[in-house]
Chains A and B, each alone.
Chain A
Amino acid sequence: MPRFLLKLFLFALLQCAIGAVVLANYRIDDNSFLAAVRDKHDRLAKLASPRLVLVGGSNVCFGTDSAQIEKSLAIGPVDMAMQGSLGVGYMLHEVEDEVRPGDIVVVSPEYEQLTRRMQESVTLMRLFEQNPAAVGQVDWDWPLVKMFLDEGHLCIREVVVRGIDRLASGKTPTSPLPYRREAFNEYGDVVGHHAMAPLPAEVRASQLLLGDSFDGQLRATIGQLNAFHEACRKRGADVYLFLPAIPERCLKRDEQKIRHIVERLKSDCTIPILNTPDEMAFPESEFFNTVYHLTEAGTARRTSLLVERLRDKIPSRNGTAASSAN
């Protein structure tokens, strides 16, 4: 046994030495999609209240024209949305402590975020790299710990691939557009894809991934939304839910499930809902590369609807939002 363990130890030591070389070549990508989280937090901290804080999955940042909102509603918007696989808990917690009196928060989770645990270990690892404070903003419950135990090798793989690629090419590998920090505008909206052609319809012919049995998870997510609503209310901010835009074919296919989700939101969630699933069924041509990512035209349509629904929710005030921003 000691001889076997010694051999195993020596072999492990050799791998650790190679691993150290790989790790030394690993660099955090300052131009990654998630690096934009730093810019968003900067804007959130600097922008004077009252603000319009947009929270959600990538349907929000790929579907909002904050400049149009600012112009129409005279309030300073900040688009905090990044991607669904960060989890509902994180996206609520990251703004919860930053909300101030008079702010308006619009939450737009994707249907999957409401009905499934969407988190991915590698995405969270990339987030923690960019924003170490996020470690404390994630709900470290057993399913999340278990996920990291099950997917820890994927995080190691991420480091290995990036380290070896940099070792081989001398450059830090980066993601293609629009999945880069530079694809965001100053409000936090993704605009980098506006000049790009949408993927062909047959390539993005995916559907919503709602599963068959999701009531338990939906209940848990509604609980999180209610807790968030209560926390914001105590801080003097208003919160609204805004359903995401999806292709018409997706609503048609999963209509029963979507209506069930919305009914549950209406009955159990304390946050008022600003829109309906029917209004948010957009033509296929207005989607860029997934069932949630809108083109520029789709973004304009979604934003107009949001503006229209928020118009009577925002108290009139002197001066423009732009002037209140500093």
Chain B
Amino acid sequence: MIFTTFAFVLFLAVIFTAYWSFTSFKVQNGLLVLASFLFYGWWDVRFCGLMFWAAGLDFLVGVGLEKSTNPRARRALLCVTLCANLGLLGFFKYYNFFIENLQAALATIGSPISPSTLYVVLPVGISFYTFQTMSYTIEVYRRRMHATTSAIDYFAFVTFFPQLVAGPIERAYRLLPQFETTRRFDPAMATDGCRQMLWGFFKKMAIADNLAIAVDTCYRNPGAHSGPQMAFATICFAFQIYCDFSAYSDIATGTGKLFGIQLMRNFAYPYFSQTIGEFWRRWHISLSTWFRDYVFIPLGGSRTTAARTAQNILATFTLSGIWHGASWNFLIWGAINGLGVLPTALRKSHVIIRAHDTPGGESLIPSPVTLFRMLRTFLIICLGWVFFRAATIHDALSILRGFVVDAAHPSAYHLPVTGSVKGLAALAMLILAEWVQRRRVYPLDVPNWPRAARWLAYTALFWATLYITPGTRSPFIYFQF
């Protein structure tokens, strides 16, 4: 089920009402599990079996890890769960990619083979929930938390529908305890949730879906568009993917609040970052920190030689790239970002700006230096987006060549804005609102405004969203990962 559908609104109303009519948190968890399977099965009921199997195995492994004191047995159990989860990902996501590349490689050395590729439907959100369950078993293995013995609580944690298919990828030690205690309805929290959802709907439906028109037109046929047109489309894509993905996180977090569950923050105004490192502390925070905790630090992190640190950073970012999809484009995208992070990461003395710090400093008007750094970071990120969005490496390279070659031709500056004008106007409003409100978790959080002004803002946003959104069905981009 997609958030921006009529079906979801009906579903949410029914589940919300039923959920708060029970007082036992166990019953509430049971209801959430049922609702989550319905939510997930809405795409394809076969996916439910897969999720049940993956999550169920990790539950049993968790219990085994908790009970066992034999280090070898515990390691074996951890191996089982890692192999099972990574095996699932490998089969559904990377099998065809691996076979095709193996085929191509063997053909170049004169040993052609013809293994069969499979027509496999990628289960929605598999990368998200497998990472979440892996985090659970790793934490239990490390004895940083106790395994739960309640299957219902555990399944509520893994399958919690707001964040099931596109995150935030929650850590068990943060989310699971919330399902193990009684929850009381908090009107302030629920109101905040509705507001955050409204903001998410606006970003997705009014901005991302409109920008998608220009982006898709250009990237579908890059050869027919000039360098400046592709540059414009790339900038549009940068905001499309931000508004799309952060909108999902906003709606997920807002929905979670309606059920008394606090999900982690996933975006913190990333395009106001002044370095690539800062960008990655503000973009898809739940995935970045997952890779930091379970890949980068185990590899040795940054408390080692400069060469080793650089190697660890590049390995982590490349893996993060390939997590997004089975293609060389994603791998290169990851590597570009890894290279972008290196200069600041290797300068160990510099001050690290965290996600909760105000981006771009405290001043309302940014200094020229700050503005320059933000623009520089944004442009480097956009270079990476070219590889992320282009269909092939060849396309990406020809797009990058076009940026340079066509730059001097005035005739190349006819920008394909048709169809995206409303989205661009809404985007300008978003950038302004985000900058002014960047101390808040999301810009619509305006508790100090008079009630009439707040309601006016919500009403305007609601109708603007309905009016501006294009009349097409657009799933969230990150569903494909």
Contacts and interface: CB of A to CB of B under 8 A. Distances in A.
Interface in B459-475: 459, 462-463, 466-467, 469, 471-473
Given A8-B194, A151-B6, A160-B466, A15 B471 contact: no
Interface stretch (B147-155, B167-175, B184-192, B244-252): B184-192
Contacts of A154: 471-473
Interface in A198-230: 202, 205, 212-213
Interface in A1-54: 1, 3-4, 7-8, 11, 14-15, 18
Given A1-B20, A150-B473, A160-B466, A18 B459 contact: yes
Given A14-B459, A150-B2, A152-B7, A157 B469 contact: yes
A150 B455 CA distance: 28
A158 interface: yes
Contacts of B466: 153, 156-157, 160
A4 B189 CA distance: 10
A149 interface: yes
Contacts of B455: 11, 14
B191 A153 contact: no
Contacts of A8: 194
B473 A151 contact: yes
Contacts of A164: 463, 467
Nearest to A14: B459
A171 interface: no
A146 B459 CA distance: 29
Interface in A162-216: 164, 202, 205, 212-213
Given A4-B190, A14-B455, A150 B463 contact: no
A158 B471 contact: yes
Contact of B185 (A1, A11, A152, A212): A1
Contacts of A7: 191
B429 to A, nearest CB: 18
A174 B191 CA distance: 40
Contact of A150 (B5, B20, B224): B5
B5 A15 contact: no
Interface residues of A, number: 28
A2 B292 CA distance: 44
Contact of B119 (A14, A18, A148, A212): A212
B460 to A, nearest CB: 10
Given A150-B6, A152-B7, A160-B466, A15 B191 contact: no
A161 interface: yes
A213 B119 contact: yes
Contacts of A146: 7, 42
Nearest to B5: A150
B61 to A, nearest CB: 35
A202 B9 CA distance: 40
A154 B466 CA distance: 9
A107 interface: no
Interface in B1-55: 1-2, 4-7, 9-10, 20, 42
Contacts of B4: 153
B367 interface: no
A202 B469 CA distance: 27
Contacts of B462: 15
Contacts of A122: 471
B458 A11 contact: yes
A213 B4 CA distance: 27
A157 to B, nearest CB: 6
A125 B4 CA distance: 19
Interface centre among B1, B4, B187, B190 (most CB of A within 10 A): B187
B221 interface: yes
B89 to A, nearest CB: 22
Contacts of B5: 149-153
Contact of A205 (B1, B190, B191, B221): B221
A1 B187 contact: yes
A288 to B, nearest CB: 20
Q: In which size bucket is the chain B interface?
A: 20 to 34
Given A157-B466, A160-B463, A4 B191 contact: yes
A110 B84 CA distance: 44
Contacts of B473: 150-151, 154
B188 to A, nearest CB: 9
Contacts of A212: 119
Contacts of A151: 5-6, 473
A152 B187 contact: no
Contacts of B463: 15, 18, 160, 164
A211 to B, nearest CB: 11
A281 B463 CA distance: 47
A15 to B, nearest CB: 6
Contacts of B190: 4
Interface string B154-196: 0000000000000000000000000000000101001100100
B450 to A, nearest CB: 15
B221 A149 contact: no
Interface string B230-261: 00000000000000000000000000000000
Given A1-B20, A151-B6, A151-B473, A160 B224 contact: no
A184 to B, nearest CB: 23
Nearest to B471: A154
B185 A157 contact: no
A157 B6 CA distance: 11
Nearest to B470: A157
A161 B7 contact: no
A4 B224 contact: no
A205 B472 CA distance: 21
A87 B370 CA distance: 56
Nearest to B201: A153
Nearest to A148: B6
Contacts of B119: 212-213
Interface in B426-475: 455, 458-459, 462-463, 466-467, 469, 471-473
Nearest to A151: B473
A19 to B, nearest CB: 9
Given A161-B467, A164-B467, A149 B458 contact: no
Interface string A125-146: 0000000000000000000001
B467 A3 contact: no
B6 A149 contact: yes
A15 B467 CA distance: 14
B426 to A, nearest CB: 15
A148 B7 CA distance: 8
Given A149-B6, A158-B471, 10 more contacts: A11-B458, A15-B463, A149-B7, A150-B473, A151-B5, A157-B466, A157-B469, A157-B471, A160-B463, A212-B119
Please list the 8 inter-chain residue pairs (A to B) with the smallest Cβ-Cβ separation, ordered nearest first: A152-B6, A149-B7, A4-B187, A150-B5, A160-B466, A1-B185, A153-B6, A150-B7
Interface of A: 1, 3-4, 7-8, 11, 14-15, 18, 122, 146, 148-154, 156-158, 160-161, 164, 202, 205, 212-213
Interface of B: 1-2, 4-7, 9-10, 20, 42, 119, 185, 187, 190-191, 194, 221, 224, 455, 458-459, 462-463, 466-467, 469, 471-473
11 contacts: A4-B191, A8-B194, A122-B471, A149-B5, A150-B1, A150-B2, A150-B6, A161-B467, A161-B471, A202-B221, A202-B224
